[in-house]
Structure 1
Amino acid sequence: MYAAAVLISALGLSYAAVPLYRAFCSATGYSGTPMTDPSRFSEPSRLVPSYKDPLNDTKATQRIRVSFNASTSDQIPWTFVPEQREIYVLPGETALTFFKTHNKSEQDIIGIATYNVIPDRIAPYFNKIECFCFEEQRIRAGEEVDLPVFFFLDKDMLEDKETRDVKDVILAYTFFSARRNPVNGQLEPDTDLSLYRVGKDSL
Structure 2
Amino acid sequence: MTDLAQRNGKVALRAALFAAAMLALAFASVPLYRIFCQVTGFGGTPMRVVAAPDKVIAGSVGVRFDANIQPSLPWKFVPVQSTVRVQPGARTTVFYEATNYSARTTTGQATFNVTPEQAGPYFSKIECFCFTEQTLKPGESVRMPIVFFVDPKIRDDESTKHIDEITLSYTFYPTGN
Band of TM-score, shorter chain: 0.7 to 0.9
Q: Tell me the CA shift for residue 5 of structure 1.
A: 2.1
Q: Is the 8 A contact 1:47 1:152 kept in 2?
A: no
Please report how far the alpha carbon of residue 3 of structure 1 lies from its aligned counterpart in structure 2 after TM superposition: 2.7
Partner of 1:194: none
Structure 1 equivalent of residue 55 of structure 2: 48
Taking structure 1 as the reference length, the TM-score comes to 0.77
Identity across the alignment (%): 39
Instruction: Give 2:9's aligned residue.
Output: none
Distance 1:12 1:138 in 2: 31
Query: What SS class does the counterpart of residue 179 from structure 1 fall into?
Result: coil
Which residues of structure 1 form unaligned runs of 5+?
52-61, 181-203
Counterpart position of 2:95: 98
Aligned residues: 165
1:131 and 1:172 map into 2 onto residues whose CA distance is: 13
CA shift for structure 1 position 107: 0.5
Judging changes above 3 Å, is the alpha-carbon distance between structure 1 residues 12 and 144 closer, same or farther for their aligned structure 2 residues?
Answer: same
Q: Structure 2 length normalisation: TM-score?
A: 0.87
Q: Distance in 2 between matches of 1:48 and 1:103?
A: 40
Structure 1 residues 107 and 118, CA gap change in structure 2 (3 angstroms): same
Q: Separation in 2 of the partners of 1:145 and 1:47?
A: 31
Q: Which amino acid aligns with 2:166?
A: V
1:179 Cα deviation after fit? 3.1
Give structure 2 stretches of 5+ with no counterpart. 1-12
* Partner in structure 1 of residue 116 of structure 2: 119
Which amino acid letter does the alignment assign opposite residue 46 of structure 2? P
Matched, 1:15 2:27: yes
In the superposition, relative to structure 1, how do residues 139 and 47 fare at CA in structure 2: closer, same or farther (>3 Å)? farther
Name 1:191's counterpart in structure 2.
Answer: none
Matched, 1:33 2:45: yes
Q: CA deviation at 1:158?
A: 1.1
State the shift of 1:147 in Å.
1.1
- 3-state SS in 1 of match to 2:161: coil
Match of 1:200 in 2: none
Q: 2: CA distance between counterparts of 1:155 and 1:32?
A: 17
* Alignment correspondent of 1:4: 16
CA distance in 1, matches of 2:91, 2:49: 16
Aligned-residue offset at 1:134? 4.8
Structure 1 runs of 4+ with >6 Å offset = none
Contact residue 117 and residue 170 of structure 1 kept, 8 A: yes
Alpha-carbon distance, 1:160 to partner? 0.9
| C-alpha contact (below 8 Å) 1:113/1:133 kept by paired residues | yes
Which structure has the greater CA radius of gyration?
A: 2
Q: Counterpart amino acid of 2:27?
A: Y
Cross-structure match for 1:73: 70
Q: Is the 8 A contact 1:47 1:94 kept in 2?
A: no
Give the superposed CA RMSD.
1.5
Once residues 96 and 48 of structure 1 are traced to their aligned partners in structure 2, the CA distance between those partners, rounded to angstroms, is: 17
Q: Which residue of 2 aligns with 1:189?
A: none
